Each structure stands twice: as C-alpha cells, then as structure tokens.
Amino acid sequence: MVEKVESMESSEITEPDNLHAGISGASTEHYDADQIKVLEGLEAVQKRPAMYIGSTGPDGLHHLVYEVVDNSVDEHMAGFGKEINVTIQLDGSVVVSDNGRGIPTGMHSTQKKSAAEVALTVLHAGGKFEEGAYTVSGGLHGVGISVVNALSEWLELEIWQNGQVFEQRYLRGIPVSALNVTGKSQKRGTKITFMADPQIFETVEFSFDVLARRLRELAFLNKGLAINLVDQRNGKEKEQAFCYEGGIVSFVEHLNEAKTPIHKPIVIETEKPEMILEVALQFNVGYAENLFSFANNINTREGGTHLIGFKAALTRTINSYATANDLLKKEVESLTGDDVREGLTAVISVKVRNPQFEGQTKAKLGNSEVKGVVESAVNEALGSYFEENPAVAKKIVGKAIDASRAREAARKAKDLIRRKGALDGGSLPGKLADCSEKDPALSELFIVEGDSAGGSAKQGRDRKFQAILPLKGKILNVEKARFDKMLSSEEIRTLIMALGTGIGRRREESETGKVDKEVFDINRARYHKIILMTDADVDGSHIRTLLLTFLFRQMHELLENGYIYIAQPPLYKVKKGKSEQYLKDDNALNEYLSALAVEDVEVFVERDQAFVTQAELLPLLKSLIAFEDLLNRFGRKQFEAGILRAFGDQQTLNRDLLKNRTQLDAVIVEVKEALGKAYPQSRITIEVGEDEEHNTHTVHCRIPTNGMIHTLTLTHDLVGSADFRELQKLSPSAMGLGQPPYKMRAKEIESEFATSDELVQAILATGKKGLSFQRYKGLGEMNPGQLWDTTMNPETRALLQVKLEDMTGVDEIFTILMGDEVEPRRNFIQHHALEVRNLDV
C-alpha cells in the first residue's frame, strides 16, 4: 500500500521540490540518493486531485505532462540534457524522455528504497530542496512527479545511468516491484511512460495542440533545448519539433509574425547572484499591448513583480528620453504606461531561486526583491539602447505621443460619466426600481424596453429580489433617408449606474508617475442576473443588439461570468374553451396546432395507399412544416420558393443527375407536371443550359403570373448544397406522399391540394378551429400578472443565458448594421432579417 501521510495544507503546494539536482554554482555531477528529502506521500493526491493539479478536467490532465516535462527542463537548465521527446502513444499513454543525468537510482539514506522510488511515491521529495537550484515550483508546476504517479492508472519508469538500465512499474502509484537493473546501455537519461487514470480524470484524451502550445513556449524560454512532440494516434503519425537558438527573441518574432515591426527586437540579459533576467521587446505599428511574463518557465498570466518592474522602467526610460530630447509636444505633458506600451510585444523571463507564486491561479510572481532588480536592469539597458539608436527611440516616442492624443478623445467620455457620479455607482438612477435584497448573487435586474412595459414589470415583479430598469431607444435622423435607433448617452449612464460596476479608466498618481487604473470591477456588480426583456419585434431586437454589444465591448466580464440573460416572453396566447396556454414562438405554436389537427385530419400516403392520422401523421406533418420553413429561408436568399418546392421534392436530383441529360429530362417532366398543378393559369417554361465550368447542366425555370415573373435557375452549387439535400429529405415525396395533388380527409370530407404548402396550411387551419389567439406584439400588451407568469417567475420562466462565444456573432451583426457602407448593410438586412429579429443568441 501507499504510505499513509498527513493531510496537506494547500500552501504547501508552493513549496519547491523536484527530482533533479540544483544548477548554477551548486550544479554537480554528483546527484545521488542523499539529495532527496522526504516530505509526504500519495493518498491525499488521489482523494483530492484538483488541489494538486488544479482540476480533473482537460487542464489538469495536460498538467500531468507538463509536470514530467518540467523535470526534464530543470535538468536541462542545470546543464544536463539537450533533448526532450514527448510522445502520445496509440493507447493514449504518454512517454516523456530526456538525455539528462537520470533520476538517482541509489538507495535513499533514510527510507529503505531507491531514491527514484522515493521521488515517485513520496510527495515533495526532490533535489530542488537543495540550495542553489533555480527550481520550477509553486503555481501548479513543481508539485512533483509523485503526483503524476498517483494519478496514473499505470506508470513505467526507465533510467539509463552509469552504463546500466533500471526499470520499475507502478499501478496507481504503488510499485509492482523494486527498481531493478534490466540491461546495459551507454545512454543517459530518464524515460517515463504513464497512462492517466480514467477513474480520476473526466477525460484522458490528450490534445496535440494544447501540448504543442506549452512545449513551444518551453522551447522559446530555454534557448537551444530541443523538444519534440509526436502523436501516434489516429492512424498516422503527427510530429512537431521545437528548438529555438534565438530563445525569447524568437518568441517575440513569432508573436509579431503577422504584424509590422518598427525595429529589430531589443534584447536585455542580466545575470545577478539572486536571479537571471531575459527580456526581448519589439514595437509594431499596431495598438495592441502583448506582454508575456514568465518566472522559472511558468507563464505568470497575472503578472507580478517582474512585470511591474519592467513596466515602470519602460515608462520612465521613454519619458526621460523624450524630455531630454525635447520630443514632447505642448499638449502632452507626460506619457503614461499605457501610452508607451501601445503596439509593444515583449517577453519577460526571470529565473529566481525561491519563487513565490500568488493570486487565484498561482500565476503571479510575488518576490518583492525582483521588482527593483528588473527595473534597474531594464532602465540601464534600454537607456543605452536609446542613446545608440536615436532613430528607433524617436519612433517609439512618436507612437506613445499618438497614443496619448487618442486617449484624450476618450477622456471626454470619462468626464461625462464622472460628473454624474456613475463611476462609483454611489447614487442610483431615479428610473431604477430596485429590489430589497442586498446580496447581488440573489438579485436580478430586468432591463425592460419602453415605459409601459416597464410599468407592467414593476407591478408584476417580486420586489424582494427583482429590480426593474426601463430603457428607451432613441431615434435619430443621421442622414437623409436613414433613421437610426440608438441608446442615448443618458440611458447608457443610467445603465452603468444601475449595474454598479463602474466603467472605463481613471488616472491616478503613483510612485512611478501618473497611471491609468481600471475602474470597472465585477465584484461591485449589484446583480448577478441581468435580464434583457425586449419586444419580439424589429425594434426590440435593435435595442437588444445595442445593449448586448455595449455589454460585450465595455463590460465583457459580465458575459464571461454568465451574468447576462435574455428573457423569453411568449409570442402567443392560445385559448381553447377555458384553458389558456402561452406559446413561446412560431415553432411552439405549430407544434400545438399540429397536435390538435392530427386528431381530426387524415392524409393520404401514396406509398402505403392508405390514409394516416394521429400518432402516425404527426411526424409526417412535422417534416412538412420543416420543409416549408426551409423553403421560406431559401426565399429570403431570393430563390423562388414556389419553384424550388417542386425541385426539392425530387429525390433523385443530385449533382450526378444534373450531368446526365436523359435522367434530367425525366425529372423535368415530373417537375413541370407538379408546377402545372401549382400554377394552373400560367405557361411554364423550363430550359436546360450548359455549365462548362462544372461540365454539367443548369435548369432555368420561368413562370409568369399576374404581372409577376417567377424565375429560378438550378445550378451545380444549389443542387449540391447541404440545404438542398435537407430539403429533399423533408420533402413530401420523401414522406411517401408521392406527387401532388395531395389528399386530405377531415370529418368525412375529402379535399385535394396542389402544393404541400396548401396542404400544411389546411391541416393547421383545422387545428385552429375553436381556438382564439392573441399575438403579443409587445410586452406592454401583457398585464402585470401575465408578465409575471410567463416571463418573470423563476419557477415557470425560461431564460436564455448569453455566452461569450455567441457575442462575436452579435458584434459582427452590429458592426455591419451600423457601418457606413450602405450596400453590405442592405444585403445583410435582407438576408438576415429573421436572425436579427430572433437573435437567439
């Protein structure tokens, strides 16, 4: 059994540990059992894996590989081993091998087993406790190879050392045998093969791309280290090799690949007794700031003292160069950190002896001594670079001045809000009907379009936890013949105040000069459910698009935290006798009517030569309704639905048939017959043309009716489209109804229909008998009680949560809608009117 151990405190995860010996001055070829110190064991890991590797999802799974690779990287940093191979094997297991010194194989001085076994079975056993090592530790890295062992269904260890080969196998962390010598080899290094435990992980499927991203990063950070990734799954082998002689300079060049740099990368390298610093930076013509910081190879996503030191030095050096050379214009007093970082791509990598990681995800470097060292090193190096390269220095200062001016435009915006006190959320807007609940997690805000609906909502709500904010769109004539719907700045301000988060940035004095501080703070959000409730019409969808776009762009964290919802008011109320029912949309209505209709109606199925009804008819009817819906969608793409209906009903029509003239002619005869029934008064022309590009035919159909000419050209593309195939699948002939006329029987009366559309309408009309409908055109048509019942009551309502990934689409719609280019906008509105309205994000 695995040794019993004391339970671990989470803070102990940040304790350094590792297998390999220290580097730098303390580096030694003598790397043996005594260096391993024993701290803890494994059962705790299996009980609470997330505490050690972050999660049991894909992130935690991939972490296993990083953990093993980190050990090999440390060995490389210590000066041993130049190559690491990572292979995902056919069975899903992963092999990591290096050509370092190999994990020590001698007997451990206090435990009666090999040092390697101690490293694999005891938590926090590792050479890195020794003085003088730049260790990977803290964060989630550096938890130790024993954690990987504990979380593997099986693990195989192979060590090549002193001419011998050692092997040992483990099952769920328990050694199957002792570490045995199994052969001879002149190789040197360690190979670990493991199969992640499917009883612990939600998935044990490794992603090539995820591993590749991290391994590439490691190769960038460790100049000259070769890391190869091989994937043997999926039949064919996939391989990527990472090795960068340029180190982080290559990293910066890689990040700037698609951009236009304004100078060659600037490199700063310093080695101090307490740390090693490497910086590479390069400005490009864009505006984005793209900073990556690492401490002991760990991506410090939340930054930390190294990043603070770098930023401070950059701001100071650029400002003092600008002042000394009289480059600042009158209107620009001094350049802020944001100004000087516009268009900057930089990688900052430090290696420190005892890194302390802080923050929620342990991704922030906390060592206070680091800031000063980084700051003075960067100040000095950058200062002399500027002196030697005045042309580059002037370009960088010029960019920062432009940035400062652009910011000025935005300042006006900030002032507008600040005057009203909205920044602090201190005072609440008068229009807001707040709830009495003070806990944001339990509070809901309904943003309601229009005053009358706002009134109903106020009366219908549960005032304990539901707040109401009525908002109105404003209509503005922006140019001749174009009226725009917009949110007034007053409405935007009201919204910001009600939400309580604040917005934008505020300039503050600090030790490094003036800095802009982020004002938006999700922790101050007053509601964790923010529900948009707008009418189900074009106007309503416009307001919703505007609101969503604003929230997405300026308060993306609300979306990322899942605070934004869309209310789903019903579109219909149906009354049958005394019972009332609300129906969400047209689909729900059609389903409701279908269910009623099939009780009274029979439809003739040619294939079976019989009438069907009720349960048998229902799926058939559903398919026919879907067929008509799809035709309608085609209609919006300006295909003639009436003609397409006849072609879509032909099961044999495909790209091959379109090439074969004889078969095509036979289909055309049938289509013509069907169209003859649908358009009895018209002369139908169908002509076949040549399509040389695809070596096939095109079919032109033309039907004049009262003053209108319907045309449709059937092409290679149209016939091959997924929509067309779907159409065929749903068509009446696919349902066995055969060709028109279609026969229906209701209450002993038989009738015939020339098109499936007419048939569907007739069936649904039967369902409507004895019903009364109300279509809600706006929320205002519902009384407070109805609004509560259908849309606001948490017990009965349906809310749509808006996901971040939905929003890129919304922003795109918005960008096109408000764009200045008339043509794309008109096309868009014509093609997407339905989507915009229903914006079922």
Partner 1 sequence: MKCPICKESVIWENNPARPFCSTRCRLLDLDGWLQERYGVPLDEGNFEYDESLEIPDNQ
Residues 328-347 that bind partner 1 (CB under 8 A): 338, 342
Whether the CB-CB separation of 799 and 568 falls below 8 Å is answered with yes
Q: What's the closest the beta carbon of residue 645 comes to partner 1, in angstroms?
A: 15
Q: Output 593 or 686, the one with its CB closest to partner 1.
A: 593
Of 479-518, which residues contact partner 1 (CB under 8 A)?
482-489, 492-493, 503-505, 516, 518
* CA distances to 36, 92, 344, 516, 833 from 337, in Å: 46, 47, 11, 8, 44
The β-bridge relationship of strands 742-746 and 708-714 is: unpaired
Out of 174, 478, 709, 798, which residue is the one contacting partner 1 (CB under 8 A)? Answer: 478
In 10 A of CB 77, how many CB atoms?
25
Of 727-766, which residues contact partner 1 (CB under 8 A)?
none
In 10 A of CB 714, how many CB atoms?
25
CA–CA separation, 27 and 21 (whole Å): 7
CA–CA separation, 146 and 158 (whole Å): 15
Assign residue 387 a region (left: φ > 0; alpha: ψ between -120 and 50; beta: otherwise). alpha
535 is catalytic: yes
Stretch of 191-199, 431-439, 469-477, 719-727 lying at the interface with partner 1 (CB under 8 A):
469-477
Burial-class residue 829 by CB neighbours within 10 Å (0-12, 13-18, 19+).
Answer: middle
Stretch of 64-72, 218-226, 389-397, 817-825 lying at the interface with partner 1 (CB under 8 A):
817-825
Whether the CB-CB separation of 828 and 817 falls below 8 Å is answered with yes
Q: Output 329 or 482, the one with its CB closest to partner 1.
A: 482
Nearest to 276 by CA among 611, 24, 482: 24
Q: Output 800 or 816, the one with its CB closest to partner 1.
A: 816
* CA distances to 64, 275, 308, 780 from 362, in Å: 17, 20, 17, 51
Q: What's the closest the beta carbon of residue 300 comes to partner 1, in angstroms?
A: 10
Q: Please identify which of the residues 15, 231, 449, 602 carries the catalytic annotation.
A: 449
Q: Print the binding letters for residues 559-598 with partner 1: x by CB under 8 A, - otherwise.
A: -------------x-------------x--x---------
Whether the CB-CB separation of 342 and 400 falls below 8 Å is answered with yes
Q: What's the closest the beta carbon of residue 483 comes to partner 1, in angstroms?
A: 4
331 is catalytic: no
Whether the CB-CB separation of 69 and 218 falls below 8 Å is answered with yes
Out of 556, 677, 694, 725, which residue is the one contacting partner 1 (CB under 8 A)? Answer: 556
Q: Please identify which of the residues 32, 34, 269, 539 carries the catalytic annotation.
A: 539
Out of 241, 406, 610, 798, which residue is the one contacting partner 1 (CB under 8 A)? Answer: 406
Of 631-650, which residues contact partner 1 (CB under 8 A)?
632
Of 93-132, which residues contact partner 1 (CB under 8 A)?
none
* Strand order from edge to edge, sheet including 610-613: 610-613, 601-605, 742-746, 749-753
Return the structure tokens found at 488. Answer: 């007034």
Q: What's the closest the beta carbon of residue 826 comes to partner 1, in angstroms?
A: 6
Q: What's the closest the beta carbon of residue 342 comes to partner 1, in angstroms?
A: 6
Q: Print the binding letters for residues 174-213 with partner 1: x by CB under 8 A, - otherwise.
A: ----------------------------------------
CA–CA separation, 26 and 131 (whole Å): 7
Out of 90, 174, 176, 476, which residue is the one contacting partner 1 (CB under 8 A)? Answer: 476
Out of 205, 599, 830, 840, which residue is the one contacting partner 1 (CB under 8 A)? Answer: 830
Q: Output 327 or 486, the one with its CB closest to partner 1.
A: 486
- Report the DSSP beta bridge partners of residue 451: none
Stretch of 348-356, 390-398, 414-422, 604-612 lying at the interface with partner 1 (CB under 8 A):
414-422
665 is catalytic: no
Q: Please identify which of the residues 333, 451, 537, 812 carries the catalytic annotation.
A: 537
Whether the CB-CB separation of 302 and 363 falls below 8 Å is answered with yes
Q: Output 176 or 288, the one with its CB closest to partner 1.
A: 288
Out of 118, 417, 445, 624, which residue is the one contacting partner 1 (CB under 8 A)? Answer: 417
Nearest to 551 by CA among 562, 538, 536, 539: 562
Out of 206, 310, 679, 814, which residue is the one contacting partner 1 (CB under 8 A)? Answer: 814
580 is catalytic: no
**Is residue 781 a contact residue for partner 1 (CB under 8 A)?**
no
Number of residues that bind partner 1 (CB under 8 A): 77
CA–CA separation, 367 and 356 (whole Å): 6
Of 234-273, which residues contact partner 1 (CB under 8 A)?
258
Whether the CB-CB separation of 813 and 545 falls below 8 Å is answered with yes
Out of 165, 308, 771, 800, which residue is the one contacting partner 1 (CB under 8 A)? Answer: 771
Burial-class residue 79 by CB neighbours within 10 Å (0-12, 13-18, 19+).
Answer: middle
Nearest to 294 by CA among 496, 141, 86: 141
Q: Output 194 or 552, the one with its CB closest to partner 1.
A: 552
Q: Please identify which of the residues 437, 535, 628, 649 carries the catalytic annotation.
A: 535
Out of 141, 407, 573, 645, which residue is the one contacting partner 1 (CB under 8 A)? Answer: 407
Report the catalytic residues.
449, 535, 537, 539
